[in-house]
């Protein structure tokens, strides 16, 4: 069936990569992006698709239920892919209100509009419910933290969020589940590990390290840097979501991971080494980024600076994607070696994108 997607938060990092992937893989489908264009939403992320006849951008807030209903009617949307969220843990610690509003109330607004348009109105008119899918994009952080030898998170792992961000995402996950079991809304949820790749907002670890090496600035590392994350190339995440939407069982959760655990400090050292290698072999880079003199000398690791750990910092995340692999045939296409190489090249080639977004 031809799909008309409403992609919330489609101008953000993962959302924009998903939009690019979906339009390339499903050229007969239509995609409508709804994004409030807050600090993490950037319309430039969608520049290459804005001229397509089957793409439309709407500047608006998911908390505006009337607007969501209008879009569902106007574009005859049959699939919602819900990315829109406040997602930066540090920001959730200093200002949790926005996370409660967007992640909980915003998800509720979407669910309420979807139920009305896809289920309630057809019933009032004596028709069957509209064929639909509400796909909710969540995170591994809802599961809490793991010890060094604990098994990876499974879909049946108990929720134990430790930050206002992860707590707000956990609440939204529960709302989505409730709307399926109580009202019959056709939903799926995916919980992903840490993403990396193009269009990643430069306050996050990997793009921040790249940008700071290029500007010869300190590379801040929380605590001892031994926090472990499972890293997933963002296009592999998009492909995983596509499989869940097309083949996943209604009402089910699916973990999407990279099978790729790294300590933060080791990620930083890897990027430093790759930056050093790039500058040592490419004289043009030396001319384009004169401030990266330490990288040229092969000493970018000297920029590493350990800072006070943030409150409630989870020690380890790891995703067990066995269910997604077995049921949907999912596995990452990119190795970490190839994914990091593509990411580094993208940031070296797109300074005009990331530089204006930097705070200092």
Catalytic pick among 61, 86, 140, 235: 140
Known catalytic membership, residue 101: no
Q: Which DSSP helix (H) or strand (E) runs through 293?
A: helix 293-296
Q: What angle do CA 171, 187, 155 make, to 5 degrees?
A: 60
Residue 172 · residue 109 · CB < 8 Å: no
* Cα–Cα dist 202/359, whole Å: 9
Q: Which of 141, 155, 276, 334 is catalytic?
A: 141
- Give the number of other CB atoms < 10 A from CB of residue 236: 22
Task: For 165, list phi and psi in degrees, rounded to 5.
Answer: -60, -55
CB–CB of 258/230 below 8 Å?
yes
Are the beta carbons of 128 and 163 closer than 8 angstroms? no
Q: Which of 21, 108, 165, 196 does the annotation list as catalytic? A: 165
Nearest to 229 by CA among 199, 194, 189, 183: 194
Is 337 an annotated catalytic residue? no
Instruction: Please give the structure tokens belonging to residue 61.
Output: 């807030």
230 as an active site residue: the answer is no
Contact (Cβ atoms closer than 8 angstroms) between residue 177 and residue 160: no
Distance CA 160, CA 158 (A): 6
1 Cβ contact list (under 8 Å, min separation 6): 78, 131
CB 286 within 8 A of CB 296: yes
Q: How far apart are the C-alpha atoms of 1 and 307, rounded to whole Å?
A: 52
Quote the tokens at residue 266: 């080791």
The answer to whether the CB of 99 falls within 8 A of the CB of 163 is no
Residues labelled as active-site residues? 140-141, 165
């Amino acid at each position: 069936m031809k799909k008309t997607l409403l992609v919330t938060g489609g101008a953000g990092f993962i959302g924009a990569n998903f939009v690019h992937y979906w339009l390339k893989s499903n050229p007969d489908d239509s995609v409508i992006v709804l994004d409030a264009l807050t600090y993490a939403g950037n319309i430039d992320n969608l520049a290459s698709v804005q001229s397509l006849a089957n793409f439309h951008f709407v500047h608006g807030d998911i908390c505006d239920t009337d607007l969501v209903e209008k879009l569902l009617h106007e574009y005859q949307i049959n699939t919602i892919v819900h990315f829109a969220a406040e997602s930066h843990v540090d920001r959730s610690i200093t200002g949790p209100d926005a996370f409660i509003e967007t992640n909980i109330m915003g998800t509720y607004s979407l669910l309420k509009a979807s139920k009305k348009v896809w289920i309630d109105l057809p019933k009032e008119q004596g028709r069957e419910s509209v064929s639909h899918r509400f796909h909710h994009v969540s995170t591994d952080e809802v599961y809490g933290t793991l010890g060094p030898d604990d098994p990876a998170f499974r879909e049946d792992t108990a929720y134990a969020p430790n930050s206002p961000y992860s707590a707000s995402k956990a609440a939204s996950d529960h709302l989505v589940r409730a709307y399926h079991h109580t009202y019959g809304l056709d939903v799926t949820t995916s919980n992903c590990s840490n993403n990396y790749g193009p269009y990643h907002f430069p306050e996050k670890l990997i793009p921040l390290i790249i940008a700071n090496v290029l500007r010869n600035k300190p590379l801040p590392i929380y605590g001892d840097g031994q926090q472990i994350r499972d890293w997933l190339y963002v296009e592999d995440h998009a492909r995983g979501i596509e499989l869940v939407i097309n083949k996943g069982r209604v009402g089910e959760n699916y973990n999407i991971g990279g099978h790729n655990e790294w300590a933060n400090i080791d990620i930083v050292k890897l990027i430093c080494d790759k930056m050093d290698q790039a500058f040592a072999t490419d004289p043009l880079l030396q001319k384009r980024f004169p401030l990266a003199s330490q990288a040229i000398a092969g000493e970018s690791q000297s920029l590493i600076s350990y800072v006070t750990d943030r409150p409630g910092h989870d020690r380890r995340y790891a995703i067990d994607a066995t269910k997604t692999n077995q049921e949907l045939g999912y596995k990452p296409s990119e190795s970490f070696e190839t994914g990091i190489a593509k990411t580094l090249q993208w940031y070296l080639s797109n300074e005009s994108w990331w530089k204006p977004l930097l705070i200092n």
